[in-house]
Amino acid sequence: MGYNIAVAGKGGTGKTSLTGLLINNLTKNNKGTVLVVDADANANINEVLGIEVESTIGEIREEVSQREKQGNAFPGGMTKAQYLQYRLNTCLAEGDGYDLMVMGRSEGEGCYCYVNGILREQTDKLSDAYEYLVIDNEAGMEHLSRKTTKHIDKLLLVSDCSRRSIQAVARIRDLARELKLSVGEILLIVNKVPNGVLNKGVCEEIEKHKLDLIGVVPLDNLIYEYDSSGIPLVQLPEDSEAKTAVRDIMSKLELK
């Protein structure tokens, strides 16, 4: 069984950017094969990684649904289930040392939960073939309740340096416990910290909620510059503040 890492947090905290840098660190250090799952309906981790995605699970679901509604036969005499599986097998985007599967969002009524069900089934089928599974969850708490994967070895909660954001990730931690999710460790990363130093109020909030802080990522102006110019964040210099902080966090995670 592979090693499963999930990343969750409030919107706007830089969760997806950090997930991309974490994946980059895994592949650069040859930790093993990596399956990346973008479980956010507003998918954009491919932009952080600098990889094109031809199709998402949501788009495939729509294609299959439209074929069925219009009475179109599936190619090669395949059944609906066979064609759906065939299309899902072709939706992996290949990156440098990783494969990427994107949930996306489809347009039909009630399709969001259906797409999530397909995502979980496909993740379960594929993940054992990889050393690592990294899931970028949707902002907030809702996606955790859908239990995209059976077990999480590390759940990384990403917050910015505000009290409200710390409170939000504490609620995510509590939800994971209430749902009795199979989680090894739940760890906090505080992102976008001016000068990389947490102020007293934020430290008090972390302590109040008994969150396990594993690292702080400084506010890195290069991330703004790269994002504004459309440059994938994985191309940040190795000595950039963000990449340096992520290396430190990865060394503390004690991944197998």
**Mean pLDDT, residues 84-105:** 87
| 174's tokens | 């509590």
In a domain, 220, yes or no: yes
Beta strands in 105-207 (DSSP E): 132-136, 151-159, 182-193
Contact 175, 26 (CB under 8 A): no
Q: Is residue 157 part of a domain?
A: yes
Please state, in angstroms and rounded to a whole number, the distance separating the CA atoms of residues 180 and 207.
23
Question: What pLDDT is stored for residue 140 in this prediction?
Answer: 57
Domain that holds residue 143: 3-50+93-253
Q: Of 35-44, 130-139, 226-235, give the range with the top mean pLDDT.
A: 226-235
Contact residues for 215 (Cβ-Cβ < 8 A; gap 6+): 189, 190, 245, 248, 249, 252
Examine residue 81 and state whether it is found in any structural domain, yes or no: no
What total number of domains does the chain contain? 1
Is the residue at 27 inside a domain? yes
Is the pLDDT reported for residue 20 higher than 80? yes
**Is 9 domain-assigned?**
yes
* Residue 75: band (very low, low, confident or very high) from pLDDT cuts 50, 70, 90: confident
Mean per-residue pLDDT for 196-212? 96
Give yes or no for residue 202 having a pLDDT over 90.
yes
- For residue range 38-49, what is the model confidence (pLDDT) as tens digits? 987 777 899 999
At 248, which helix (H) or strand (E)? helix 241-253
CB 135 within 8 A of CB 154: no
Q: pLDDT at position 116, please?
A: 65
Mean of the pLDDT values across residues 200-217? Answer: 97
What is the overall mean pLDDT for the chain?
87
